[in-house]
Amino acid sequence: MTAALQEARPLVAVRGLHKHYDLRRGLRRLVDRPAQHTVRALDGVTLDIRRGETLGVIGESGCGKSTLGRTVLRLLEPTSGSVAFDGVELSTLDPAAMTVMRRHMQIIFQDPYASLNPRRTVEQIVGLGIAIHARNTAHETRERVADMLQRVGLSPAHMRRYPHQFSGGQRQRIGIARALVVKPQFVVCDEPVSALDVSIQAQILALLAELKRELGLTYLFISHDLAVVGHVSDRVAVMYLGQVVELGPARALLKSPAHPYTQALLAAVPRVEAGGGERQRLQGDVPSPLRPPSGCRFHTRCPHAMAKCSAIAPTPVMVAPGHAVACHLHEGAPA
User: How do strand 235-240 and strand 54-58 relate by DSSP bridges?
Assistant: parallel
Residues 6+ apart with CB under 8 A from 271: 227
- 68 or 329: whose CB is closer to ligand SF4? 329
Q: How far is the CB of 245 from ligand SF4 (least distance, A)?
A: 7
Q: Which of 116-124, 191-199, 227-235, 325-333 is the region at the interface with ligand SF4 (rule: CB under 6 A)?
A: 325-333
Report the SS3 class of residue 175.
Answer: helix
What is the per-residue DSSP string for 24-67? HHHHTTT--SGGGSEEEEEEEEEEEE-TT-EEEEE-STTSSHHH
How far are the Cα atoms of 12, 145, 150, 157, 177 from residue 154, in angstroms, in the given order?
31, 11, 5, 8, 9
> Beta-carbon neighbour count of residue 92 at 10 Å?
10
Q: How far is the CB of 286 from ligand SF4 (least distance, A)?
A: 14
Asked whether position 305 contacts ligand SF4 by CB under 6 A, the answer is: yes
Q: How far is the CB of 297 from ligand SF4 (least distance, A)?
A: 8
Asked whether position 292 contacts ligand SF4 by CB under 6 A, the answer is: no
Q: Are 79 and 91 in contact (CB under 8 A)?
A: no
User: How do strand 323-325 and strand 218-222 relate by DSSP bridges?
Assistant: unpaired
- 129 or 314: whose CB is closer to ligand SF4? 314
Asked whether position 238 contacts ligand SF4 by CB under 6 A, the answer is: no
- 187 or 264: whose CB is closer to ligand SF4? 264
DSSP state of 204: H
Greatest CA span in the chain, whole angstroms? 68
Among 302, 317, 319, 324, binds ligand SF4 (CB under 6 A): 302
Phi first, then psi, for residue 128 (nearest 5°) are -60, -45
- 267 or 306: whose CB is closer to ligand SF4? 306
Q: Which helix (H) or strand (E) holds 289?
A: none
Asked whether position 221 contacts ligand SF4 by CB under 6 A, the answer is: no
Asked whether position 328 contacts ligand SF4 by CB under 6 A, the answer is: yes
Asked whether position 239 contacts ligand SF4 by CB under 6 A, the answer is: no
Q: How far is the CB of 299 from ligand SF4 (least distance, A)?
A: 4
Asked whether position 247 contacts ligand SF4 by CB under 6 A, the answer is: no
Site string for ligand SF4, 88-127 (x = CB under 6 A): ----------------------------------------
Asked whether position 240 contacts ligand SF4 by CB under 6 A, the answer is: no
Which residues within the stretch 186-205 sit at the binding site for ligand SF4 (CB under 6 A)?
A: none
Asked whether position 257 contacts ligand SF4 by CB under 6 A, the answer is: no
Q: Which of 127-135, 199-207, 226-234, 304-312 is the region at the interface with ligand SF4 (rule: CB under 6 A)?
A: 304-312
Asked whether position 265 contacts ligand SF4 by CB under 6 A, the answer is: no
User: How do strand 88-89 and strand 80-85 relate by DSSP bridges?
Assistant: antiparallel
Asked whether position 264 contacts ligand SF4 by CB under 6 A, the answer is: no
Strand ranges inside the chain, DSSP E: 12-22, 38-49, 54-58, 80-85, 88-89, 105-108, 186-190, 218-222, 235-240, 243-249, 317-320, 323-325
Binding site for ligand SF4 (CB under 6 A): 259-260, 296, 298-299, 302, 304-306, 309, 314, 327-329
